[in-house]
Amino acid sequence: MVSTDISSTGLPRVVATDLDGTLLRSDGKVSDRTRQVLADLDAAGVEVVFVTARPPRWLTHLADTVGGHGRVICIGGACVLDLASGETLDTCGFDDDAVRAVVTGIRAALPHAALAFERPDGVAFDPHYPNREPALDPALWSVPVEDTLRAVGTPGPVSKILALDPAFIPPPGIILDPPEEIRLAQEQFFAAVRGAIGPHAQLAYSGAVGLAELMPVGVDKAAALARWCARLGVDASDVWAFGDMPNDLPMLTWAGRGIAVANAHPDVLASADAVVGHHDADGVAEELASTLDGALRPRR
How does DSSP assign 152-189, residue by residue?
A: TT--S---EEEEE-TT--PPSS--SS--HHHHHHHHHH
Q: What is the maximum alpha-carbon separation in the chain?
A: 70
Tell me the Cα Rg of the chain: 19
Task: Tell me how far apart the alpha carbons of residues 17 and 148 are, in angstroms, rounded to a whole number.
Answer: 33
Task: Tell me how far apart the alpha carbons of residues 96 and 4 are, in angstroms, rounded to a whole number.
Answer: 43
| pLDDT for 60 beyond 80 | yes
- Amino acid identity of 296? L
Pairing of strands 257-261, 239-243: parallel
| pLDDT for 4 beyond 50 | no
Q: What is the pLDDT of residues 251-283, one digit of tens each?
A: 999 999 999 999 999 999 999 999 999 999 999
**Please, what sign has the CA dihedral across residues 238, 85, 63, 174?**
negative
Where residue 300 falls among pLDDT bands split at 50, 70, 90? very low
Q: What is the pLDDT of residues 99-120, one digit of tens each?
A: 999 999 999 999 999 999 999 9
Which residues have CB under 8 Å from 81's CB, separation 6+? 56, 59, 71, 72, 73, 74, 87, 88, 89, 120
Q: Is the pTM of this model over 0.85?
A: yes
Where residue 160 falls among pLDDT bands split at 50, 70, 90? very high
When pLDDT is averaged across residues 226-254 and rounded to a whole number, the result is: 96
Contact in structure between 108 and 196 (CB atoms under 8 Å): yes
